[in-house]
Every structure is written in structure tokens, then in C-alpha cells.
């Protein structure tokens, strides 16, 4: 955790990355100046028992950005994977998210401290409110707690996830720090153009979760035709579409082959006509919960 990409040659030599060049991944600059690698590795639905190995594998491929959450139950195993990898932790950008059962100022402060313990760090790169829970939660109290962690230097950046314009507007009106990112569902069947524009207008970077719609967009004939013509895989085409849209992505994959495939996005680009064809796939294809009504609070 810390700066990216590694500038110290000794750091690069200590990595177990055999082929990939970590510095091929571009960074975006968040609204407080913090740099974030635009491509990372997501660990949702990776069993805790498998997470350390998956993180080590992803780091060996070249990923230097890991997206986890309290909800995923694998923060400690992410830290274990980083520790076991031999990669300097200061070169790895780590994000976690406050769970739905920790809304409110005091509960957020407590659960954030637990996250730092599990991640074996005194400062996280990015911490998000996972869901706004507008009907049952307290995202304003949660945000004020994260503002305090940020002010005290325990988070390099703070942001939100699954926030709609109305939720963001409330933060703008009743708090101080503008979120650095908004992590939302984005893929060709649910492009979220309006919300991405809203984020950009307010200096908020958009992160796209389920960037390949958990595989569902990979059989699309338009994606398939572009992939065949340019000699790339459907996943690479869709992930490259995100990259060219300026969206930060962290696809999840189980095998080294898929991790590598998803990492190799920076030696080609999509033509404007390809981008337009993929843009035209947009439909009401939300896969996950609607943030305006989602009210799941675990025990
Ligand atoms: N903030 C939020 O509310 C949410 C955040 N997230 C974050 O976003 C990350 C990614 O989203 P996720 O929902 O996992 O979905 P993704 O869109 O990343 O898709 C993952 C699925 O696609 C498969 N896959 C990965 N690469 C390929 C490939 N090259 N070819 C074919 N299939 C492939 C994986 O299979 P296999 O594993 O078998 O290789 C897995 O089933 C999460 O891990 C999490 O960090 C996700 C959901 C909600
Ligand atoms: O993966 C995440 O980050 C999520 O928030 C999801 O698990 C989400 O809560 C969901 O899929 C609920 O069905």
C-alpha cells in the first residue's frame, strides 16, 4: 500500500512477477492527488481459504491494486497474500468497504479500525461506504466517520459505492470532503452513462464493478465480432472499453490464465467505431441490487 508504480529498482526485483510489467497499467489521479492504478483485481466471491493464493497469483501477474470489502470476509487473507507475495506492500493499492451493518459514526469508526488490523496496516489507500442504504442506514454518519479517518491520516482517500446522484447531493450539502470515487455497477449492458457523467462533473472517479457482468457480456455477438477482428478475447475487448472510458476496473478471475488475459489490455486500443458499437449495447441490464431500495443488513 502506498505509492504506485514502484520507483525503486530493488522493489521491482523483489516482486515475483515473471513476465508482466506492473508499470504498464496507467494510474488515474483522484481529486485529492492520490494515484490509483486503473486496473486491479477484485476478490468478491473468493473463499477466504483461497484468497491468499489468489492475491499472490494476481500480484505475480502484475496487478498492484486489490479491491476487497468487509462484506467479503477475506480482508485478513488479502493481507496474508500480500505479505507472502514478496511484493513491497507500499507498491500495492488496497481498497476496502464499510459493511452495511456498520453504518453510523461510532460503528464505522469501530469497523474501520478492525479493517486496518485485518489488513495489517496503519493506513489504507481507499475506504468506501459499500451501500448507501437510504431506507435503513445512515450514510451521512458513516461518511463523517470516514472524514475523521481521512483527517487523521488513516485513509489516503475516502469514497462511496453504489451512490446515486441524490445520495451524493446530500453528502455535498451536509459534509466537507467530496468522495474520491464512486464504485458502481458498469458494463456494456448497464453503461451508467448519466451517473458516470455526474461523477465526473463533481470530480469523482468512477469505478466499475462486475465490469464483464460476471461473464454475461462475453457471448455478445457484437463483442465477439470485434474480438475476432482485432485478435483479442471478448473479456479483453470489454475491459479495454472501460479503460478507454476512464473507468477504474478490477475483474475477478480464478485462474492464472484469466488473470493474465484480463491484465493484458495496454498493447492495443479500440477504434471509435468499436467503442460506439459497444456503447450501443447499453440496455436496462442491471445485474445487482438497486441502490435506492437495497436494504440488506447482515447480522
Ligand atoms: N461495490 C459493490 O457493490 C460491488 C463490488 N464488486 C467488485 O467488483 C469486482 C468484480 O466484479 P465481479 O462481480 O466479481 O464480476 P466480474 O465482472 O469481474 O466477473 C467475474 C466472473 O467472470 C469470470 N471471468 C473472469 N475473467 C474472465 C475471462 N477472461 N473470460 C471468461 N470469464 C471470466 C470469472 O470466472 P472465474 O472466477 O471462474 O475465473 C467470474 O465468474 C469484485 O470482485 C468486487 O471487488 C462486485 C460486486 C459489487
Ligand atoms: O460484491 C459486493 O460488493 C456486493 O455488494 C454484492 O455482494 C451485493 O451485495 C450483492 O450481490 C447482493 O446480492
Percentage of the chain lying above the pLDDT 90 cut = 92
Q: Where are the domains of the chain?
A: 27-214+249-254
Atom of ligand 2 nearest to the CA of 45: 1
Helix, strand, coil shares, percent, the chain, to 5: 45, 15, 40
- Residue 29's Cβ-count burial label (10 Å; 0-12, 13-18, 19+) is exposed
Going from the Cα of 290 to the center of ligand 2, the distance in angstroms, rounded, reads 11
3-state secondary structure of 54: helix
Cβ–Cβ under 8 Å, residues 87 and 119? no
CA distance 240 to 233: 11
Find the 214 Cα to ligand 1 centroid distance in Å: 5
Split at pLDDT 50, 70, 90, the class of 14 is: very low
pLDDT of residue 113: 99
Clarify whether 189 is annotated catalytic. no
* Range 27-214+249-254 classified under CATH 1.10.287.3510: no
CA of 117 to the centre of ligand 2 (A): 23
Residue 290 Cβ inside 6 Å of ligand 2? The answer reads: no
Predicted confidence (pLDDT) per residue in 31-80, tens digit: 999 999 999 999 999 999 999 999 999 999 999 999 999 999 999 999 99
Which residue reads 464512486 in cell numbers? 182
CA distance 57 to 255: 9
Nearest to 165 by CA among 201, 115, 117: 201
ipTM above threshold 0.90: yes
Residues 285-292: what's their mean pLDDT? 98
Pocket probe mutation, ligand 2, options 43, 44, 97, 181, max atoms within 8 Å of Cβ: 44
Instruction: Kindly report, residue by residue over 184-214, the tens digit of the pLDDT.
Output: 999 999 999 999 999 999 999 999 999 999 9
Looking at ligand 1, which residue's alpha carbon is closest to its atom 13? 210
Residue 65 assigned ligand-binding role:
no
Does the Cβ of 89 fall within 6 Å of ligand 2? no
Residue 179: partners with Cβ closer than 8 Å, 6 or more residues away: 158, 159, 160, 163, 168, 171, 204
Q: Check residue 7 and give its pLDDT.
A: 32
Test site for ligand 2: of 68, 69, 71, most ligand atoms within 8 A of the Cβ: 71
Alpha helices in the chain (DSSP H): 9-14, 48-61, 75-85, 105-118, 139-151, 165-174, 193-201, 221-230, 234-244, 256-263, 272-279
Whole-number pLDDT of residue 8: 32
φ, ψ dihedrals at 93, nearest 5° = -90, 120
DSSP calls for 250-294: ----SSHHHHHHHH--SS----HHHHHHHHTT--S---S--TTT-
Q: Is the pTM of this model over 0.90?
A: yes
Spatial distance between the Cα atoms of 42 and 47, rounded to a whole number of angstroms: 12
Q: Residue 216 C-alpha to ligand 1 middle, in angstroms?
A: 10
Residues belonging to the chain:
299
The pLDDT value given to residue 13: 29
Q: Which residue's CA is the nearest one to ligand 2's atom 11? A: 288
Amino acid at each position: 500500500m502506498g505509492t504506485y508504480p514502484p520507483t525503486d529498482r530493488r522493489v521491482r526485483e523483489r516482486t515475483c512477477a515473471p513476465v508482466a510489467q506492473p508499470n504498464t497499467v496507467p494510474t488515474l489521479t483522484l481529486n485529492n492527488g492520490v494515484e490509483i492504478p486503473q486496473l486491479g483485481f477484485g476478490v468478491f466471491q473468493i473463499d477466504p481459504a483461497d484468497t491468499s493464493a489468489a492475491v499472490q497469483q494476481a500480484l505475480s501477474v502484475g496487478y498492484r491494486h486489490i479491491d476487497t470489502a468487509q462484506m467479503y470476509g477475506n480482508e485478513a487473507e488479502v493481507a496474508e497474500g500480500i505479505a507472502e507475495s514478496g511484493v513491497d506492500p507500499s507498491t500495492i493499492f488496497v481498497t476496502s468497504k464499510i459493511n452495511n451493518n456498520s453504518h453510523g459514526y461510532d460503528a464505522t469508526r469501530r469497523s474501520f479500525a478492525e479493517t486496518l488490523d485485518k489488513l495489517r496496516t496503519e493506513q489504507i489507500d481507499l475506504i468506501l461506504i459499500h451501500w448507501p442504504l437510504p431506507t435503513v442506514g445512515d450514510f451521512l454518519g458513516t461518511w463523517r466517520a470516514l472524514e475523521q479517518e481521512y483527517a487523521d491520516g488513516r485513509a489516503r482517500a475516502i469514497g462511496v459505492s453504489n451512490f446515486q446522484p441524490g445520495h451524493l447531493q446530500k453528502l455535498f450539502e451536509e459534509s466537507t470532503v467530496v468522495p474520491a470515487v464512486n464504485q458502481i455497477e458498469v458494463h456494456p449492458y448497464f453503461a451508467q452513462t448519466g451517473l458516470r457523467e455526474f461523477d465526473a462533473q463533481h470530480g469523482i472517479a468512477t469505478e466499475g464493478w462486475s465490469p464483464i457482468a460476471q461473464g454475461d457480456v462475453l457471448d455478445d455477438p457484437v463483442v465477439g465480432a470485434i474480438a475476432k477482428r482485432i485478435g483479442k478475447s471478448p473479456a479483453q475487448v470489454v475491459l479495454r472499453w472501460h479503460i478507454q472510458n476512464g473507468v477504474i476496473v478490477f475483474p475477478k478471475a480464478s485462474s492464472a490464465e484469466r488473470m493474465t488475459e484480463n491484465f493484458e489490455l495496454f498493447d492495443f486500443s479500440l477504434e471509435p467505431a468499436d467503442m460506439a458499437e459497444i456503447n450501443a449495447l447499453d440496455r436496462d441490464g442491471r445485474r445487482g441490487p438497486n441502490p435506492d431500495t437495497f436494504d440488506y443488513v447482515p447480522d
